[in-house]
Copies of this chain bind each other. A is one copy, B any other.
Amino acid sequence: MTNVSIIGIGQTEVKEMWETSIRHLAWYAIEAAMDDAHTTKIDAIYVGNMLAGALSHQNHLGALVADFAGLRGTEAVTVEAADASGGAALRQAVLAVESGLVETALAIGVEKMTDQTGSPVEAAVATGLDADYEAMQGLTLAGAGALLMRRYMYENNLQVADFAGFSVNAHANGADNPLAMYRNRLRAEKFALAPLVADPVSLFDAAPMGDGAAAVIVTRHERALDMVPQPIRIAGSALATDSIGLHDRRNVTWLKAAELSAHKAMAKAGVTPEQIDLFELHDSFTIMAALSLEAAGFAARGQGWQLARDGEIGRNGRIPISTFGGLKARGNPLGATGMYQIVEVARQLRGEAGANQVENAKIGMAQNLGATGATAVTHVLRAAE
């Protein structure tokens, strides 16, 4: 296990917030995390963000966020790994605290998608793909998801309808989450009727992008025990990469970085998939949910979709996923998404998930992916003993 524990969590709603600047968005999550931890003493800040430079004309978020949070002077940098930026920010916070050079670190994911609209946004999102060999040819993120889904359907002889369970589950859970972007329930028979985004990816396969920020404060475990009643231990933490372009992968339908980071994080935590009570995975597309379940060891290759079909991913299923709606219903604020996952797992392990509570949750895992899985960050969290 790592020697790092979470002492505070905070998050905003995910939605379109045209009137809110990125510095305010970040502050709302930080303020909530500080309130929760009952501390404002932070020694380092790691800001997960992908697109502020492109969409808000604002780089240099470390200094900006630190100052706006009342922490002028504090060590602060931006960490970027496409839509895995949030998880990557937490990874840096873990390393910083483990180094002994930083006592208390704050990891925040923040993304402001609505300063622009239309094709500039789509082009900005595509900077997570291989610029020279994918985006340059016109491939978008949804297009890349479509290639993966089509290939997986071919290999496993599936229909679009076979992916319905992922979205139905996400929307069922999102309906109970007041912070979710979409709170409507979805019936399986409606799933296959959705308009296409990039054939075969439909509106109901693809997660909606929105504005949002989520933050956690971490410190050494022994210190955390003195500070808060329920510190959440970061038992395992790992970040791995794969080729950025799909064309360079030996098996496009196997997420190697997801497998590697999940394996390392679970080994560090000393747990197996069977011991994990819930799994916040990166369901940017339904196909990514299926592939993540397989790469993390919850299903054999080509069988991840069956967990959705068989109802195993629900709150009372074998491995609950997207318990607050996931990317699909809670919404996907790219660089913030990984931190939402962490905040949600922490809420589950504290027993503070309300209507979304997975009963008796003691060990939870979060996996944040960048683009088509070229970066994968996995964290295993444990409830206080």
Contact = CB atoms under 8 A, between A and B. Distances in A.
A103 interface: no
Given A53-B127, A242-B72, A244-B67, A81 B62 contact: yes
Give the bracket for the number of chain A residues in contact with chain B.
35 or more
B88 A95 contact: no
B95 A59 contact: no
A78 interface: yes
Given A128-B60, A242-B72, A80 B77 contact: yes
Interface string A118-151: 0000011011111110011000000000000000
B77 A81 contact: yes
Interface stretch (A271-279, A292-300, A325-333, A370-378): A370-378
Given A78-B81, A88-B77, A101-B98, A53 B54 contact: yes
Contact of A78 (B23, B80, B124): B80
A96 interface: yes
A375 B63 contact: yes
A126 B60 CA distance: 10
The interface centre, meaning the residue of A51, A92, A102 with most chain B CB atoms within 10 A of its CB, is: A92
A260 interface: yes
A354 interface: no
A2 B73 CA distance: 21
Interface in A46-89: 50-51, 53-54, 56-64, 66-67, 72-82, 88
Contacts of A61: 80
Nearest to A100: B98
A362 to B, nearest CB: 24
Q: Report how many copies the assembly holds.
A: 2
B102 A63 contact: no
Contacts of A57: 123, 126-127, 131, 135-136
B77 A242 contact: no
B127 A60 contact: yes
B127 A59 contact: yes
A371 B21 CA distance: 21
A75 B243 CA distance: 12
A256 interface: yes
A240 interface: yes
A99 interface: yes
B95 A63 contact: no
A111 B131 CA distance: 15
A385 interface: no
Contacts of A72: 241-243
A175 interface: no
Contacts of A100: 98
Given A51-B59, A63-B82, 10 more contacts: A59-B128, A60-B127, A60-B375, A61-B80, A63-B81, A63-B243, A73-B260, A76-B81, A95-B96, A96-B99
12 contacts: A51-B53, A51-B59, A57-B126, A58-B127, A58-B130, A58-B131, A58-B132, A62-B88, A67-B374, A74-B240, A76-B239, A77-B79
